[in-house]
Structure 1
Amino acid sequence: MLELYQFEMSHYSEKVRLILDYKGLTYRKIEVTPGIGQLELFRMSGQRQVPVLKDGNEIVVDSTAIAKYLDRKYPEKPIIPVNPEQRGQCLLIEEWADESIGLKARKALFGALSQNQSFRTSVLPPTTPDFVKLLVGAVPGDFFNLLGSGIGFGPDVVKSSQEDLKQDLEAVSLLLLNKPYLVTDYPTLADFAVAGLSMYIKIPEGPYLEIPETLKGKGVPGLADSAAYETFFNWRDRLYTQYRKQPTPTTTTTPSSPTSIEID
């Protein structure tokens, strides 16, 4: 069985989950425990970031590489068009989504988290130790902003990202005015990238994510609750209703003892 090493609240993992569900592939989610679980992931894949796909002896890292691998290995219900013009549009939109929506949504969400302590702890992976959740939740918003400035997520950066995302959402909404999907008359990698990576802007409602119910439908103020982007979120809701499945059973990477982990 395919194994997806992930964080449930990773929008790049969500991009891959959408593709797996669309293709009708059975897979097992393995939640990577922050810290020690990432060491185990490093031993297996050579890096600590999710998502990572394990298919037998094949290890594939990075959401785009995983998407291309799945389309080669499991060609039924292709997600990358053969037509040269459509293929070019699909790959261009996917790359734009990764580098624009994916990165800026993370910064915009950081701004929302800095103002809401309960929201902040709720988005942590479920395997996060309780004492870490307490520490994260106890950080005052102003100090959280200061910490953000130190890693390039300061208030000015957050505000700029939110403004850029408004243009991104407007652009996608316009592309979808008279057609069901971004490139062709069926969903492609472009659609799954945009839909999955918008998770931080507004968390999907419904039984798709193993997260607290109070988080579903929440997101970045001014974006998630704006009527200006209704076309976009209605489109995303339809995509989820048609193709996203309910969560598969999740296990974790937490080993029985830290001493069992070795890095070659």
Structure 2
Amino acid sequence: MGVVAKRSSMTFFSDANSHYSHRVRIVLAEKGVTVDVIEADADNIPAELTDMNPYNSLPTLLDRDLVLYESKVMMEYLDERFPHPPLLPVYPVARGASRQYIYRIERDWCVLVDSLVEGTANAKTLEKQRKELKESLMAIAPIFTEKPYFMNEEFTLVDCCLAPILWRLPALGIEMPNNKQTKPLLAYMDSLFERESFQASLSEMEKEMRAPQVG
């Protein structure tokens, strides 16, 4: 767990409803980085981003003269700039595996989340995507009987990517059953959501996604 301290002055342009922005906010909280968070959305992009970000997109991280506008790049940059606590394994093989897990999360799950959030597909397609995401997450539940985090003994950037998706399941119309199969996954979710950094990372909009469970 990162100790909250004034270690840097950054500006983070964040979409309060985006799981891509949320994953970066978790890293910032884990590292205890002092950051000015400017909330915006796709329909309300700050004018100053036009000159800094060629894609005029969110999230965007500004650190002095450096401008980053891809969430995975931001997370790794923050992990290298503020090495404690480390959020990627030390050894190259394990680091490569973690990067591959993040890639698979984006290919297999983020695309489904993005489509469900957008909600422009027909009802049949959206229901199929909900079913696919739910069943895919249930299928990985057993791995959390072996290690407390995603394929790791320690909390990593992989968990930073997965936590925002799991938090959003009710808002996406997905309810995970509470049974023997899902018990390890539900325990993992509880451990993520109880982390001080995770609670600190939540926007007001995100808190409302699970309002009855937020203190």
TM bin (shorter chain) = 0.7 to 0.9
Q: Show the counterpart of 1:198.
A: 166
Where do 5+ consecutive residues of structure 1 fail to align?
Answer: 112-147, 203-218, 251-264
Paired residues in the alignment total 193
How big is the shift at 1:104? 0.4
**Closer, same or farther in 2 for the Cα pair 1:194/1:241, shift >3 Å?**
same
Q: Which stretch of structure 1 is more off in the superposition, 32-41 or 65-74?
A: 32-41
How big is the shift at 1:227? 2.1
Aligned 8 A contact 1:3 1:54 in 2:
yes
**Aligned-residue CA RMSD (Å):** 2.4
What CA distance in whole angstroms lies between the structure 2 residues aligned with 1:182 and 1:246?
21
Q: What are the Cα deviations for residues 83-102 of structure 1, in whole angstroms up to 9, with x where unaligned?
A: 23322221111111122222
How big is the shift at 1:220? 3.1
Q: Show the counterpart of 2:72.
A: 64
What CA distance in whole angstroms lies between the structure 1 residues aligned with 2:134 and 2:85?
32
**Closer, same or farther in 2 for the Cα pair 1:31/1:78, shift >3 Å?**
same
**Closer, same or farther in 2 for the Cα pair 1:227/1:110, shift >3 Å?**
farther
What CA distance in whole angstroms lies between the structure 1 residues aligned with 2:22 and 2:125?
25
What CA distance in whole angstroms lies between the structure 1 residues aligned with 2:193 and 2:203?
19
Q: What are the Cα deviations for residues 209-245 of structure 1, in whole angstroms up to 9, with x where unaligned?
A: xxxxxxxxxx233x33532545324312312322324
Report the TM-score when normalising by structure 1: 0.65
1:12 matches 2:16: no
What CA distance in whole angstroms lies between the structure 1 residues aligned with 2:32 and 2:193?
14
Q: Percent same amino acid among aligned pairs? A: 22
1:165 matches 2:133: yes
Q: Which stretch of structure 1 is more off in the superposition, 165-174 or 69-78?
A: 165-174
Q: Show the counterpart of 1:187.
A: 155
SS at structure 2 position matched to 1:77: coil
Q: Show the counterpart of 2:40.
A: 32
Report the TM-score when normalising by structure 2: 0.78
Aligned 8 A contact 1:182 1:190 in 2:
yes
Aligned 8 A contact 1:89 1:183 in 2:
no
1:232 matches 2:200: no
Larger radius of gyration: 1
What CA distance in whole angstroms lies between the structure 2 residues aligned with 1:42 and 1:167?
40
Q: What are the Cα deviations for residues 235-256 of structure 1, in whole angstroms up to 9, with x where unaligned?
A: 1231232232436999xxxxxx
1:3 matches 2:11: yes
Q: Show the counterpart of 1:89.
A: 97
Moved over 4 A (4+): 247-250
Aligned 8 A contact 1:3 1:53 in 2:
yes
**Closer, same or farther in 2 for the Cα pair 1:42/1:200, shift >3 Å?**
farther
Q: What are the Cα deviations for residues 109-134 of structure 1, in whole angstroms up to 9, with x where unaligned?
A: 455xxxxxxxxxxxxxxxxxxxxxxx
